[in-house]
Structure 1
Amino acid sequence: MADGWARATGQPQCVIVHVDVGTQCLGAAMHNANTGRVPVLIFAGLCPYTEEGLEGSRTEYQHWLQDAPDQKAIVAGYYRYTGDFRTGRTVK
């Protein structure tokens, strides 16, 4: 939807997807946006970074199951810029 809306309005759009599986499902849409040179910002969730010590650390078995060691590699052929914000401390 972000791709279509960006094409219709000419304004950059954003999309947020879930950890690893959401990024995988986004692959075809990223290909379309990339070939159409459509300005779309994509935010993909990551599993908690730490096991203890920071708010939002890993607490559930699910956190280990959903961990993708290099999530960016899933769609590497379709993005121009990438970055990681592993904790709230790195956002600055």
Structure 2
Amino acid sequence: DHETLTAILSPLIAEREAMKSSELMLEIGGILRSFKFIFRGTGYDEKLVREVEGLEASGSIFICTLCDATRLEASQNLVFHSITRSHSENLQRYETW
């Protein structure tokens, strides 16, 4: 239903938006420099490849961005596969440079 879909997708959308505004701060020659990242794609190409050709074709070793299970681990335990990271943990993972 719509409520379940919204609950599942909202953190993914927020994570993607947060990544779009990521900045890298480096000290170069004693001067702090800020570099912005511009994400030209948002993962739609990889999603299309996965949908058409399967997970193997996309080159990903992970099932999704919200868990640390690899394809091998998930294939051995399909019943108990679940989201293991919260949105805040993902922000920490992707925002720390």
Q: Which has the larger radius of gyration?
A: 2
Q: TM-score by structure 2 length?
A: 0.23
Structure ranking higher on relative contact order (CA contacts 8 Å, 6+ apart): 1
